[in-house]
Amino acid sequence: MIVEAGAFALVLAFALAVLQTGLAAAGRLRRSPVLAGAADGAALASAVAVALAFAALIQAFAVSDFSVANVAANSHTDKPMLYKVAAAWGSHEGSLLLWCLVLTGFGAALARARNLPFGLRTSAVAVQGLLGALFLAFAVFTSNPFERLDPVPFQGASLNPLLQDPALAFHPPFLYAGYVGFSVCFSLAVAALIEGRANAAFWPAWGRWVRPWALASWVLLTLGITLGAFWAYYELGWGGWWFWDPVENASFMPWLAGAALLHSSIVTERRGALAAWSTFLALLAFTFSMLGAFLVRSGVLTSVHAFAVDPERGMMLLAILGFAAGAAFALFAWRAPQLKGGGLFAPVSREGGLVLNNLFLTAAAATVLLGTLYPLILEAATGATISVGPPYFALTFTPLMAVALVVLPAGPFLAWKRADLRGVVQRLAVAFGLALLLAVAGWFAFEPRKILSALGIGLGAWLILGALAETAERIRLFRAPAGETLRRARGLPLAAWGMTLAHAGLGVFVLGAVVESGFRVEAARPLAVGESLQAGKWTVTLNDVRIVEGPNYLAEQGRLTVAVPGGATRQVVAERRFFPAGGQTTTEVGLDFRGLDDVYVVLGERGQTPAGQPGWSVRVWWNPWARLIFLGPAIMAAGGALSLLDRRLRLGAGARKAKAA
C-alpha cells in the first residue's frame, strides 16, 4: 500500500513539475503574479511529492519488502539497518529518485527566493520545472523504483558489499546535493539570458543572486567527493584515493566548473564584467553534472563505480542532456553577444587575477573532459582502444594547476580595476621566502630526495602562508596595537575569512597529496602468525587470524601490531569479509592513524609463506601526511560554508534596509 502511494507520488511529482513549468511560463508571459504564485506552489508540491516517494522507498527497504523489484535486487534481511536504508540510494533507480529529490527540493527553495525580481525568478522556476519534469519522466517511465515482482522472492540479492560502508552511505546524498544544486545556477543563467537586457544594473545583481547557490552546491560537492575518495581509500584496499577513474572525473568536472563560477561571479557582482562568461560557467557546471549522470548510468564507460544499466536508458539520458544543454547553449550563443560588458579593468587587477583563475580552471576541466571522453570517441571513430589514466593527468592537469596555484596567493592582494604589482610582491615576500625555506626543508626531510616533491611542499606552504598573509595584512597583525588588530579581525566579513580558509585548505590538500604520492612506502609478503614485515620505519607483525561473524558476512579477522622505534606500539584489525548473499569478498583495511601519517594494512588471501608454513598475504603502506588529503578539502568546504553564512547575513541586511525605506 505504501509502495503504491510512493509510485503514485512519483507520477504526481512529474505532473506537478509539468504544471510548474506551464504555470511559470504563462505567469511570466502574462506578467501575472497569481499564475507565478501557483507555479511556486506547484514547485513546492512537486518536491513534497518526491520526498513522499523517497520516504516510501526507504520504508520498503527498511521492512525488506521483496515484492518491490528494486528492494529484492539490492537488499537483504541480514543487513544492518543503516545499509538497508542506504541501499535505497545504492541502485540506479533509487539514486535517480534521490537526484529528483534534490532537483525538486532546490526548485522549491528557488521558488521561495523572495529577493529575486519577478521576471527572473518566474523564468528560472519555469526552467527548473522543465528540468524536474525531464528527470522525473525518466524516473517514471524507464527507471521506476516501485515496480513489483511476482512471485515475491523469499530473500533479497543484497547490496554490493563494497557499498556497505558508512562513508558510502553518506557520500551519494552529499554528492548529489552538490551535483544537482548546480541546476539552480543553470536555471538562473537561462532565465538571465531570457530576461537580461542591455541593462548594466542587472548583471551585478545577477552575480549576487547566483553566488549563494553556486557556493552551496560547490561546498556539498566538495564534501561528497571527499567522502567518496575516503571510501575508496579505506574500502577498496589498494592504498590510493584517486585514480582518475572516469566516474571520479565525472564528479570532478562540475566541481572545477563550479569553482570557476564562484570566482567569476564575484567579478560579475562587483564590477558587472564577465557577465556572459559567468552565465556560460553556470550552464557548464550543470551540463557537466548531467554528462556525469549519463556516463555513470549508460554503461558506456568501464569503471569500478558505474551502475550496470542498459544502453537504452543511456540513450534517454543522452537525449535529456542533449536537449537541456543544447537548448541552453543555443540560447547562450544567441544572447551572449548582446550582453553589455560592464566595468573595465587593467590586466593586473583583481578582475585580471580572477580571469586568470578562470582560464586555468576551465583548461583543467577541459583536460579532465578530454581524458574521460577521448577513449570513447577514438574507439567510436577508429576502433582503436586506449587507456587514459594517472600518467596522462600527471603530464597535463598537474602542470596546469601548478601554474594556477603559484599565482593564486597574489590574487586576493590585487586591488580592483588596477593593481600595483610591486606592492603585492613586497607584501608577499615574507610568505614566499618562508615557503621557499620549507621547500628546502622538505628536500632534506624526506627520503628519497625528489626535487618535484620538494617544490610541491613549497607550493602547499606558499598557498597556506599566502592566505594567512592576506588576513594578517587586513587585520594589521603585529603592525597595529593588539586592540586595533582584534577590532579589525572582528570587523572582517565572514566571506573574507571563508576565502582565507578555502585557499589555505587547498594548500593543506596539496601538502598531503604531494607528500603521500611522493614518499609512500609499500611492502607486501605472505606472513605466518608471529612473523613481521617492514615498511619504512614501521614494523607490522601478524598476531593472529580468526574467523568472526558479522551481521551479514563472515570474516577472516587479522590482528596486527604496528610498532615504530621510539613510538607507541598499536593494534590494528584488518579483515577480509565474505558476503554469502552475493558471494562477494571485500577487504576492511586496518588503519593506524599516526599523527599526519597512516599505516595502512590489508589482509590478503590465505596462502603459504616461502618457508612452507600456512600464512596470509599482508600488504602494508606507509602513507605519510595522508591525513591532510582529506583534511584539506574539509577545510575548503568549511571556508565555503563560512562565506555562505556571510552572504545570507548580507541578503538579510539588504531586505531589512529595503523594508525600512
Helices 451-474 and 397-407 meet at what angle, rounded to 10? Answer: 30
Residue 391 binding other proteins, by CB under 8 A: yes
The span from the CA of 590 to the CA of 601, in Å, is 5
Note whether 400 binds other proteins by CB under 8 A. yes
Q: How far apart are alpha carbons 230 and 242 in whole angstroms?
A: 9
Contact with other proteins (CB under 8 A) among 384, 482, 658, 660: 384
Paired strand residues for 371: none
Judge whether 163 and 236 are in contact, CB under 8 Å. Answer: no
- Select 24 or 256, whichever has its Cβ closest to other proteins: 256
> How far, in Å, are 88, 154, 217 from residue 68 at the CA level?
12, 12, 33
* Single-letter code of the amino acid located at 495: A
Residue 418 CB, shortest distance to other proteins, in Å, is 10
Instruction: Return the residues of window 560-599 that contact other proteins according to CB under 8 A.
Output: 578, 580, 583, 585
Asked if residue 494 lies in contact with residue 652, where contact means CB atoms within 8 angstroms, the answer is no
In angstroms, give the least distance from the CB of 52 to other proteins.
35
Residue 13 DSSP symbol: H
**Position 549 contacts other proteins (CB under 8 A):** yes
Alpha-carbon Rg for the chain, nearest whole angstrom, is 27
Return the range that interacts with other proteins (CB under 8 A); candidates 117-125, 171-179, 381-389, 624-632. Answer: 381-389
SS (H, E, C) 396-443: CHHHHHHHHHHHHHHHHHCCCCCCCHHHHHHHHHHHHHHHHHHHHHHH
Q: Could you give the string, one character per residue 313-352, with x where binding to other proteins holds by CB under 8 A and - elsewhere?
A: ----------------------------x--x--x--x--
Amino acid code (one letter) for 482: A
Show contacts with other proteins in window 68-127 (CB under 8 A).
78
* Cβ atoms of residues 90 and 74 within 8 Å: yes
* Beta carbon nearer to other proteins, 195 or 556: 556
| Smallest distance, other proteins to C-beta of residue 292, A | 15
Query: What are the cell numbers at 122?
Result: 518566474
Shortest distance (Å) from residue 93 CB to other proteins: 22
Phi, psi torsion values for 431, nearest 5 degrees: -60, -40
State the Cα–Cα distance between residues 95 and 88, nearest whole angstrom: 7
Residue 658 lies near other proteins (rule: CB under 8 A): no
Distance of closest approach, residue 42 Cβ to other proteins, in angstroms:
39
CB of 593 to other proteins, least distance (A): 22
Among 319, 493, 645, 650, which residue interacts with other proteins (rule: CB under 8 A)? 493
326: its cell numbers: 543544447
Tell me how far, at minimum, the Cβ of 441 lies from other proteins, in Å: 25
User: Contacting other proteins (CB under 8 A), which of 213, 360, 446, 509?
Assistant: 360
59 lies in the site for other proteins, by CB under 8 A: no
CB of 247 to other proteins, least distance (A): 8
Quote the cell numbers at residue 165. Answer: 560502508
Cα distances (angstroms) measured from residue 394 to each of 5, 104, 371, 454, 458: 51, 38, 11, 16, 18
Where does this chain touch other proteins (CB under 8 A) — which range of 10-18, 40-48, 174-182, 391-399? Answer: 391-399
Which of 15, 390, 406, 436 is in the footprint of other proteins by CB under 8 A?
390
Q: How far is the CB of 213 from other proteins (least distance, A)?
A: 20
Host H or E run for residue 130: helix 118-142
C-beta of 412: minimal distance to other proteins in Å? 9
What minimum distance in Å lies between the beta carbon of 410 and other proteins?
A: 15
Question: Which of 222/372 has CB closer to other proteins?
Answer: 372
Residue 386 sits in the site that holds other proteins (CB under 8 A): yes
Residues ≥6 apart with Cβ < 8 Å to 519: 446, 447, 450, 453, 624
Among 393, 365, 388, residue whose Cα is nearest residue 301: 388
Write the CB contacts of 214 (distance below 8 Å, at least 6 apart in sequence).
182, 185, 258, 261, 262, 265, 282, 285
We find the least distance from the C-beta atom of residue 598 to other proteins, in angstroms, to be: 17
Based on CB atoms, which residue is closest to other proteins, 133 or 626?
626
Give kind and range of the element (H or E) at residue 89: none
The CA-based angle 195-284-289, given to 5 degrees, is 120
Question: From the list 80, 522, 569, 571, which residue makes contact with other proteins (rule: CB under 8 A)?
Answer: 522
Minimum distance, C-beta of residue 377 to other proteins, in the bound complex (Å):
9
Is residue 434 within 8 Å of residue 409, measured between CB atoms? no
Question: What residues from 251 to 290 belong to the interface with other proteins (CB under 8 A)?
Answer: 270
Residue 387 in the binding site for other proteins (CB under 8 A):
yes
Among 395, 421, 440, 649, binds other proteins (CB under 8 A): 395
In this structure, are residues 129 and 82 in contact, taking their beta carbons and an 8 Å threshold?
A: no
- Other beta carbons within 10 Å of 91: 23
Please tell me whether residue 622 adopts helix, strand or coil conformation: strand
Cβ atoms of 257 and 284 closer than 8 Å: yes
Is the Cβ of residue 547 or residue 660 nearer to other proteins in the bound state? 547
| Cα-based angle 537, 507, 441 (whole degrees, multiple of 5) | 50
Q: Is 170 in the site for other proteins (CB under 8 A)?
A: no
Phi/psi for 619 (5° steps) reads -115, 130
By the rule CB under 8 A, 525 interacts with other proteins: yes
Closest approach of Cβ 462 to other proteins, in Å? 22
Instruction: Single out the segment in contact with other proteins by CB under 8 A; choices: 46-54, 114-122, 356-364, 528-536.
Output: 356-364
Nearest CB to other proteins, comparing residues 254 and 526: 526
- 545 touches other proteins by CB under 8 A: no
Nearer residue to other proteins within complex by CB, 114 or 154? 154
Nearest to 640 by CA among 255, 254, 73: 255
First CA to last CA across the chain, in angstroms?
54
Stretch that binds other proteins, among 23-31, 201-209, 239-247, 637-645 (CB under 8 A): 239-247
Report how many residues bind other proteins under the rule CB under 8 A.
Answer: 66
User: In this chain, which of 29, 152, 315, 415 binds other proteins, going by CB under 8 A?
Assistant: 415
366 lines the binding site for other proteins (CB under 8 A):
yes
Smallest separation (angstroms) from other proteins to the CB of 12: 38
Q: Which is nearer to other proteins, 270 or 559 (CB)?
A: 270
Type of residue found at 606: R
CA distance 133 to 140: 10
Q: Residues 199, 302, 426, 569: which binds other proteins (CB under 8 A)?
A: 302
In the complex, the residues that contact other proteins under the rule CB under 8 A are 78, 236, 238-240, 243, 245-246, 270, 302-304, 306, 341, 344, 347, 350, 355, 359-360, 362-364, 366-367, 370-371, 374, 378, 382, 384-392, 395-397, 400, 415-417, 493, 495-496, 522, 524-526, 547, 549, 553-554, 578, 580, 583, 585, 604-605, 607-608, 617
